[in-house]
């Protein structure tokens, strides 16, 4: 019986020691993990980190501001002629030397032109000229063929192109207009008229 009591007391002491150890050890573990979390949450900032962040911000700002010309971009050159009041447009594919260039590079390449629009895919440049546009035409009947004459700055006419279009197949109104001559301004309008006659 004494042995049983001693065994029970020994078991109770061992269980008590285990419980005490667990209770004492657990808060210390929590404190160390809280300390580690606190350290991890703090931003460790020194001069190098600040300089690196400033450099990254500058790079991002530069990239955002400097749009560059795409290889697929188109360029429109618009010229306004003050003497006749007309504007001509010329369409170009971007030259290789301008691919990946900035707006400043474009301005350097096209001095004397104003940049009306600049994006990575579309560029419009404009400038003014004092003279005439040299795109004043008159279309007449010449030996039964539709013939185009260019009107020069002095008012004289110079043959520009004699087409293969026969005037005998035109409408009566067109034939009558051709006798007096049909005045056209701009190559686009001229091409449209010739297409209508074909």
pLDDT at 132 over 70: yes
Residue 38, domain member (yes or no) = no
User: Each residue of 20-74: pLDDT tens digit?
Assistant: 767 676 555 445 455 444 544 444 455 555 665 666 655 555 555 578 888 898 9
| CATH (domain of 174) | 3.30.70
Q: According to the model, what pLDDT value does residue 56 have?
A: 61
Residue 178, domain member (yes or no) = yes
> What's the average model confidence in pLDDT over 146-170?
87
- The reported pTM is 0.54
Is the pLDDT higher at 16 or at 69? Answer: 69
Q: According to the model, what pLDDT value does residue 51 have?
A: 64
Same domain, 122 and 141: no
With a CB cutoff of 8 Å and minimum separation 6, the contacts of 152 are 158
Same domain, 153 and 192: yes
How many domains, the chain?
2
Same domain, 125 and 152: no
With b for 16 or more beta-carbon neighbours within 10 A and e for fewer, the 99-138 pattern comes to eebebeebeeebeebeeeebeeeebbbbeeeeebbebbbb
Residue 141, domain member (yes or no) = yes
Q: What is the mean pLDDT of the chain?
A: 79
For 114, the domain range is 74-129
Q: According to the model, what pLDDT value does residue 59 have?
A: 56
Same domain, 122 and 142: no
Same domain, 78 and 118: yes
Q: According to the model, what pLDDT value does residue 29 have?
A: 47
Which of 109, 129, 149 is the C-terminal boundary of a domain? 129
Cα separation of the two ends of the chain: 129
């Amino acid at each position: 019986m004494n042995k049983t009591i001693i065994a029970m007391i020994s078991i109770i002491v061992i269980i008590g020691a285990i419980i005490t150890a667990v209770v004492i050890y657990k808060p210390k573990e929590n404190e160390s993990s809280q300390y580690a979390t606190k350290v991890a949450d703090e931003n460790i900032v020194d001069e190098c980190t600040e300089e690196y962040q400033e450099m990254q911000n500058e790079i991002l700002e530069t990239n955002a501001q400097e749009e560059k010309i795409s290889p697929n971009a188109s360029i429109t050159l618009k010229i306004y002629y003050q003497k006749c009041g007309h504007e001509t447009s010329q369409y170009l594919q971007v030259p290789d030397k301008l691919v990946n260039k900035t707006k400043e590079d474009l301005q350097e390449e096209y001095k004397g032109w104003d940049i009306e629009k600049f994006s990575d895919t579309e560029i419009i440049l404009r400038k003014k000229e004092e003279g005439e546009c040299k795109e004043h035409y008159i279309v007449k009947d010449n030996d039964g063929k539709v013939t185009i004459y260019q009107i020069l700055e002095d008012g004289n006419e110079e043959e520009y192109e004699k087409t293969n279009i026969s005037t005998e197949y035109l409408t009566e109104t067109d034939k009558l207009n051709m006798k007096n001559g049909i005045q056209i301004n701009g190559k686009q309008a001229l091409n449209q008229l010739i297409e209508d006659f074909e």
